[in-house]
Amino acid sequence: MTTIGVPREAAGGERRVALVPSDVPRLRRIGLDVLVEAGAGAGAWHDDAAYEAAGATVTTHPLLYAGSDVIAGIGPPEDAGALRAGQLLVGLLAPRGRPALVRALAAAGVTAVSLDLLPRTLSRAQAMDALTSQASVAGYKAALVAADAYGGYLPMLMTAAGTTRPARVLVLGAGIAGLQAIATTRRLGAAVTGYDVREAACEDIASTGADVLRLGTPAATGEGGYARALTADEADRQQRALDEAVAGFDIVITTAQVPDGRPPVLVTAAALAALRPGSVVVDAAAGPHGGNVDGSRPGGTVRTDRGVTVIGAGNLAAQVPQAASAAYSRNLCALLAALIRDGVPALDPADEIHAAVVVTRDGEVVHPRVREALDQEVTS
């Protein structure tokens, strides 16, 4: 029988867990024994007893690593050295940004599967799409973080003490996270405008009922439904147009990313200087490679001289651990159901999904785009 182990997530501030108790029976049904590290679900309010009651065995970290054929987490493993040849590792590993980890996993003979490499437009893969589920949670939380930091109401309120106008919210980047931020701020009653460089995303914004900001810059749709990076000239034109447009808003939420690239700076120092005191900017794209807002720090809040609050979002999905874990757990179960045949992992390179998500196998880095990223690192 194949055993799957769910470790406690290692990253600081991480409160999600890869598998929730209610999904343990799903894995048992496809022939897996389930081990869970003690305390793994605590951050998402799932105690060890709930896992036991669902049919899992709660154990220690070393016993989990020693006794599992499959290790399923969210972030990269705490100790890649503890994995052994033939073990299957599943997670959101972001392998193109972690060359040392990828090399270590290949050298150890681990089969690494990364959910962020899933072909997202494939309808069969939608139930497994953890990038979408987590971005959706992050967009929702970005809206709440912005609303919380804002000193006024979001809705228009008519009371005996007067009438308030709705807060004006601008969401830059209307992919999965941006659309959820738009929907959430609209539910809170704000007057919401969205902006994106992809025409399809502009249609999505309009379908929520929000206004679409048009800057007259060319559409920039790239491969796989993602945006392409703008040319220097396009980025320059976009930036100047945005500098002017941003000033009229009370709240700006940014979620713009391009695959494998630095997030574009969309809110410049000049735009921040033009915002009214009390305005709030949430940079949900802030990360180790930069963000969409000049001077934002991941996980940190900056107050400008003019009184504008700039919040560099950290791991927003981890701040809604119950919803994020439940969604991730479903994605994981769907992926495992596609990878496991008759109770054992059966990776088929001819299967579009299998081929897309396997990063290392039999001591080699087998994923072409990950190998490319590794080669670039060596030559740069």
Helices (H), the chain: 24-29, 48-54, 61-67, 99-107, 130-149, 176-187, 199-208, 232-246, 269-274, 321-339, 352-357, 368-379
- The region of 31-39, 95-103, 194-202, 323-331 touching ligand NAD under the rule CB under 6 A is 194-202
Q: How many CB atoms lie within 10 A of CB 325?
A: 27
| 172 lines the binding site for ligand NAD (CB under 6 A) | yes
Of the candidates 9, 37, 129, 250, which one interacts with ligand NAD according to CB under 6 A? Answer: 129
- Residue 192, both tokens: 């919401």
| 264 lines the binding site for ligand NAD (CB under 6 A) | yes
Number of H helices, E strands in the chain: 12, 19
| 281 lines the binding site for ligand NAD (CB under 6 A) | no
Tell me the site size for ligand NAD, rule CB under 6 A. Answer: 29
- Residue-wise over 195-229: b if at least 16 C-beta within 10 A, else e? bbbbeebbebbeebebebbeeebeebeeeeebbbb
| 41 lines the binding site for ligand NAD (CB under 6 A) | no
- The region of 162-170, 190-198, 207-215, 326-334 touching ligand NAD under the rule CB under 6 A is 190-198
Of the candidates 133, 193, 257, 279, which one interacts with ligand NAD according to CB under 6 A? Answer: 257
* Backbone φ, ψ for residue 364 (5° rounding): -120, 155
| 171 lines the binding site for ligand NAD (CB under 6 A) | no
CB 302 within 8 A of CB 275: no
| 136 lines the binding site for ligand NAD (CB under 6 A) | no
| 231 lines the binding site for ligand NAD (CB under 6 A) | no
Can you name the residues that pair with 5 across neighbouring β-strands? 35, 71
Least distance in Å: CB of 93 to ligand NAD?
17
| 87 lines the binding site for ligand NAD (CB under 6 A) | no
| 135 lines the binding site for ligand NAD (CB under 6 A) | yes
| 227 lines the binding site for ligand NAD (CB under 6 A) | yes
* Backbone φ, ψ for residue 371 (5° rounding): -60, -40
| 255 lines the binding site for ligand NAD (CB under 6 A) | yes
| 55 lines the binding site for ligand NAD (CB under 6 A) | no
DSSP 261: S
Q: How many CB atoms lie within 10 A of CB 288?
A: 7
Indicate the residue among 30 and 235 with the shorter CB distance to ligand NAD: 235
Least distance in Å: CB of 174 to ligand NAD?
5
CB 329 within 8 A of CB 20: yes
| 126 lines the binding site for ligand NAD (CB under 6 A) | yes
Q: How many CB atoms lie within 10 A of CB 22?
A: 13
Residue nearest to ligand NAD (CB): 175
| 226 lines the binding site for ligand NAD (CB under 6 A) | yes
| 358 lines the binding site for ligand NAD (CB under 6 A) | no
The DSSP secondary structure of 360-379, one letter per residue, reads: EETTEE--HHHHHHHHHHHH
| 197 lines the binding site for ligand NAD (CB under 6 A) | yes
| 291 lines the binding site for ligand NAD (CB under 6 A) | no
Indicate the residue among 106 and 197 with the shorter CB distance to ligand NAD: 197
Among the listed residues 4, 142, 3, 15, the one whose alpha carbon sits nearest the alpha carbon of residue 74: 15
Indicate the residue among 32 and 258 with the shorter CB distance to ligand NAD: 258
The residues of the shown chain that bind ligand NAD, judged by CB under 6 A, are: 120-121, 126, 129, 131-132, 135, 172-178, 195-198, 201, 225-227, 230, 255-258, 264, 266
